Structure 1
Amino acid sequence: MISNYYILNVLRFILLVLVQVLVFNRLNFFGFINPMVYILFLYWYPIKENRAAFIGLGFLLGLAIDFFSDTMAIHTASTITIAYIRPAIMRFVFGVNFEFQSFKLSNTTQVQQITFLTLLILVHHLVFFTLEIFSLANFLLVLKKVLATGAATLILCLLFGSLFSVRKE
């Protein structure tokens, strides 16, 4: 029997891909800022799940976005990168606490959660825009796009997170 946990992750996957492709890929703030909110799937994915399955889902997520955006596997490379280094980022943000069985992202401070999300976004955008521009001569352009798009993505991800979070009372 399929549990609610798997149904929730499938729904998150499908909805984030649809929202990204149908809404956010069409936005162009200031002519170059397109927020990438599909990163939330990799942020919300449970911590203690199978790592190979997580990297595979990161690949499928990036591939789905690439397929609809016609971006030649740039999203795929970026999502696989953050899926692969997520444990290192978590160790940096949360310390060794995240290795305990009872660790949950919802039990951490809001500052730690925002720092974790920010680092995921920055790494993703750095890989994405480096591959998109693919020139060291344009390093400042890469940096400008990473910071501007990263800020827009972070704000929208925090808004989505607060909109769809389950409050404990």
Structure 2
Amino acid sequence: MISNNYFINIARFILLVLVQVLVFNRLNFFGFINPMVYIMFLYWYPIKENRAVFIGLSFLLGISIDFFSDTMAIHAASTVTIAYFRPAIMRFVFGVNYEFQNFKLGNATRVQQFTFLALLIIVHHAVFFTLEIFSLANILLILKKVVSIGLASLVLCLLLGSLFSTKKE
């Protein structure tokens, strides 16, 4: 029988792909800002799960978005990159607490959660827009897109995270 965590992860995967493709890919704030909220799957994925499965799911997530967005595997490359660097980012943000077996993201402080999500978004967007533009001559355009779309993605991810938060304060 499938455990509750697997069902929740499958539901998050499908819902985030649908929301990204059907809603956020169609939005154009100021003509160029398309928030990327599907990164929340990589943020919410359980910490102590099998890393190879996580990287594989990250690839499937990215290639699913690429399939519907016609972006030639740029999303897949970006999601696999942040899936690969996620343990290093977590070690940087959470320090020694990350090494404990019973560590949960919900037990971390709000500042740590915000920093972790912000770093995931920054790394994802830096890889994504560098591959999309593929010219360091346009470094200012890359930085403009990373900052503006990153801020929009961060705000919407925080709103989405608080909307579906199970922790009551």
Residues 115-155 of structure 1 deviation map (CA, whole Å, 9 limit, x = unaligned): 00000000000000000000011000000000000000000
Q: Which amino acid aligns with 2:161?
A: G
| Count of aligned pairs | 169
2:44 aligned residue: 44
Name structure 1 gaps, 5 residues minimum: none
Q: Which amino acid aligns with 2:115?
A: T
1:35 aligned residue: 35
1:106-121 to structure 2, matched below 5 A, reads 106-121=106-121
SS in structure 2 opposite 1:58?
A: helix
CA apart distance, 1:62: 0.2
2:138 aligned residue: 138
Q: Which amino acid aligns with 1:70?
A: D
1:82-121 to structure 2, matched below 5 A, reads 82-121=82-121
CA apart distance, 1:167: 2.1
CA apart distance, 1:96: 2.1
SS in structure 2 opposite 1:47?
A: coil
Name structure 2 gaps, 5 residues minimum: none
Is it true that 1:151 corresponds to 2:151 in the alignment?
yes
Q: Which amino acid aligns with 2:144?
A: K
TM-score w.r.t. the length of structure 1 is 0.99
CA apart distance, 1:168: 3.6
Q: Which amino acid aligns with 1:9?
A: N
Of 115-124 and 96-105, deviating more is 96-105
2:69 aligned residue: 69
TM-score w.r.t. the length of structure 2 is 0.99
Structure 1 consecutive aligned stretches of length 4 or more whose deviation exceeds 4 Å: none
Q: Which amino acid aligns with 2:24?
A: F
Q: Which amino acid aligns with 1:17?
A: V
Residues 31-88 of structure 1 deviation map (CA, whole Å, 9 limit, x = unaligned): 1100000000000000000000000000000000000000000000000000000000
Q: Matched residues in 1 for 2:46 and 2:167: separation?
A: 18
CA apart distance, 1:111: 0.3
